[in-house]
Each structure stands twice: as structure tokens, then as C-alpha cells.
Amino acid sequence: IAWRDSNAMLEMGRVLIVGAGATAAVAARRLRREGVSAERIVVWEALASVGGRFRSEMSSKDGGLTDTGAQYLTRVAACAVGEQGSAGDDMHEDIYKELQQVGLLRKMSGNIQGTRAADGDGESYICEEGMQALVEYMLTEAGVQVCCLRRLLQLKLVEDEVSVGFRTWEASFDGASERFGAVVLTQPVPQMLPLFSTGEASELLDRSGFRGKLRNVQFSSRYAMSLFFDEGDKARLDELLPFVGKYVGKDEEDG
């Protein structure tokens, strides 16, 4: 979700992207492609490293790698839009192409059992260096400033200190604050809504109708456990299991 006050011209201020996951990395890339200079784009991440739901973990024993969040990417028709939202070329075509050219993405060859409606029948890709590497690459290529361990606590609309009649977003963190002409929020809704609890920013969320829509988003908890195997054990496991991933349907889960 992106917020820019109607009076605050994007050309006059900096842009804050909240969260440093895949959505933030793509947003930073798009802003750079649209001509926004890297110096005017700042990314705040509450955790100690980037990645978000594209987080990868390393085994301390043998250096094995596992993805504890997203484990593969699937290109879906829903992302194929042209001008003004009409059907057209894949809006992420350039991203997939570049990530493949630099060796970060390759087509997934393993079998996935079960279905997931969001995947459709699109082609799936994996990153052997860990999905987190995709986020790191895109943020590095964008050249934007990334501030880790910086949690956004509140957003307020305030009068601009220089331009009379213009308003900017005041973003608060750990007893300090900075001002931006535009804010892009990429974190989950439960973390997003408390930022708009009072003031004009809260009224803006209500007038736009976004608060009700965001509250209707349903979330469920998911937990990840990573197991690392020796090469010999891995080979035997591959022989026993006819899939590299499996979606468990509700009927099977309840049973």
C-alpha cells in the first residue's frame, strides 16, 4: 500500500519504503526505473537483515542452506497486465529475465504434490543461493539506502518545513523521526494498521475505504522447521519421496 499526500509532490521529497522483503525490493526497483534517484529512496527494516518472507537460514554445522519462508516463485497470469490494468505483457518479465541472466533463478525441475490456487498453472523457479539472495540482489542493484533494526512506530501528516501549503509524512522510530514525501508500506496488515491509530492519517485511511478492506484480510500462522541431512541420507530421502514439496489440503489436514 502506498501513501502520498495529494499536496505533496513526489519530486519534492524522499520516498520511504517500510519493510525489506521481496515487495520492497521490487518497489525500489520500479521507482528507480521511473526516474527516482537512489538518494531519495530509503528502506526501513525492523529486523537485522533483509529478506522478509524470503528469508534463508544457514546450517552452522556444514553450511547447508534452507528457505524458511517462500521456497520458490511461480509466474501467474494475474501479474500479466498492460497499461491501465488491461491484459498485456508480464509486468515482471524484466525481473525474471535479469535474475535468470545473473544466475540467481532457474526453473524448478522437482515435482510438487497437491494444488495451490494462487499458483495457477504458471512456471516455477528456485534460487539455489536461497530466496533471500533475490531480495539482496535487487536492493543492491537499486542502490537505495537500507536501514535495518529500524522499526516504524507511527505515521503523521505534517506541514512541510520548507514549502508553505505542502504536507509531508513524518515517520517516527525510537524517539526520533524523519520526513518523506511518499511512503510505501509492505509489511503485513496486522503491523500496518496500528500506524494509523490517530490524527489525519487515520482519517485518510477511513475516507479512502482502505481500513475496512485491510481488516477483511485473513491471516493464519505458519511455522517452519528445517532439517539438514548428510549427502548420503539426502540421496536415500530423494529415492523414498516422489516429490520435492507437497501441499496438504484441508481434508487431509483435518484427518
Count of domains forming the chain: 1
Q: In which region does residue 147 sit, left (phi positive, over 0), alpha (psi from -120 to 50) or beta (all else)?
A: beta
pLDDT band at 120 (very low <50, low <70, confident <90, very high): low
How large is the angle between the packed helices 22-33 and 132-142, nearest 10 degrees? 30
What pTM was computed for the model? 0.84
At residue 249, the pLDDT reads 73
Helix H or strand E segment including 252: helix 250-254
The answer to whether position 188 is within a domain reads yes
Cell numbers for 217: 484480510
Average pLDDT along the chain:
84
Structural domain contains residue 50: yes
For residues 148-175, one letter each, b for 16 or more C-beta atoms within 10 angstroms of the residue's C-beta and e for the rest, the string is eebebebbbbeebeeeeebbbbbbebee
All three cell numbers of 5: 499526500
Q: Is residue 138 within 8 Å of residue 94, measured between CB atoms?
A: no
More confident residue, 144 or 8: 144
Nearest CA-CA partner of 73 in 139, 133, 1, 149: 133
pLDDT at 152: 96
Q: Is the model more confident about 10 or about 63?
A: 63
Q: Compute the distance between CA of residue 132 and CA of residue 69 in angstroms, rounded to an integer.
A: 9
Which residue range is the domain that position 52 belongs to? 2-62+131-224
What backbone torsions phi and psi does residue 94 show, to the nearest 5 degrees?
-65, -35
Grid coordinates of 161: 518545513
CB < 8 Å & 24+ apart, contacts of 8-13: 8/160, 8/166, 8/167, 8/168, 8/169, 8/181, 8/182, 9/166, 9/181, 10/36, 10/181, 10/182, 12/160, 12/163, 12/166, 12/181, 13/40, 13/168, 13/179, 13/180, 13/181, 13/182
CATH number of the domain residue 180 falls in = 3.50.50.60
Q: Side chain identity at 125, as an amino acid letter?
A: Y
Query: 81 and 87 in contact (C-beta within 8 Å)?
Result: yes
* pLDDT above 60: residue 8: no
Using an 8 Å Cβ cutoff, are 167 and 159 in contact? Answer: yes
CB 182 within 8 A of CB 8: yes
Residue 154 located in a structural domain: yes
Using one digit for the tens of pLDDT, what is the confidence trace for 67-84? 999 999 988 765 554 444
Are 186 and 24 a contacting pair, CB within 8 Å? yes
pLDDT digits (tens, 9 = 90+) for 191-242: 888 888 878 888 888 898 888 998 898 887 778 888 888 878 888 888 888 8
